[in-house]
Amino acid sequence: MEFKNEYLGYFHQDDDYEKAQLLWLWYDYHTEIFDRSLWSAKPSRNDESMVVLASSLAHAESNRNAMKIRNDMYEIAKSYNISHDVMHKAKTDNYRNSCKMKVRMDTYLKLYDLGKLNFINES
């Protein structure tokens, strides 16, 4: 344990964690785009830039899609030797959970344009 990291709040962001964050961004983008295409989608009360589903059938379809994307995401993580622990830390990161969906979607598009997500297609 390094004193600066533990007590002064400095942290070292490694390549695995950065890739894990980008994978979760990829997941959020693609699941939200799919959910917006479902017929019972309506704006969320807590985040008007995110949708919720009013139909149980649409919800089930959304869950199937999310499971497929999540499985693909974890296969990509595995191909880069990114551990489940790192993926979990990225998933529960404060930044990810505090952002409105619009911010995440816009960030995804900007990073996609910059080629920062190319590693996902290369796996």
Per-residue pLDDT reduced to its tens digit, 9-45: 545 569 999 999 999 999 999 999 999 999 999 999 9
Instruction: Give the chain's count of helices (H) and strands (E).
Output: 7, 2
Could you tell me if residue 50 is inside a domain? yes
Of 90, 121, 119, the closest CA to residue 25 belongs to 90
- Region of 79 (left: φ > 0; alpha: ψ -120 to 50; beta: rest) is alpha
Could you tell me if residue 39 is inside a domain? yes
Per the structure, the count of domains in the chain is 1
Could you tell me if residue 42 is inside a domain? yes
Could you tell me if residue 9 is inside a domain? no
Could you tell me if residue 116 is inside a domain? yes
pTM of the model: 0.88
Of 109, 29, 106, 105, the closest CA to residue 65 belongs to 29
Percent of the chain with pLDDT over 90: 80
* Full residue range of the structural domain in which residue 69 is found: 14-122
SS3 state of residue 42: strand
Could you tell me if residue 8 is inside a domain? no
Could you tell me if residue 103 is inside a domain? yes
Residue 68's pLDDT is: 98
Residue 122's pLDDT is: 84
Question: Which helix (H) or strand (E) covers residue 89, if one does?
Answer: helix 84-91
How long is the chain? 123
Could you tell me if residue 5 is inside a domain? no
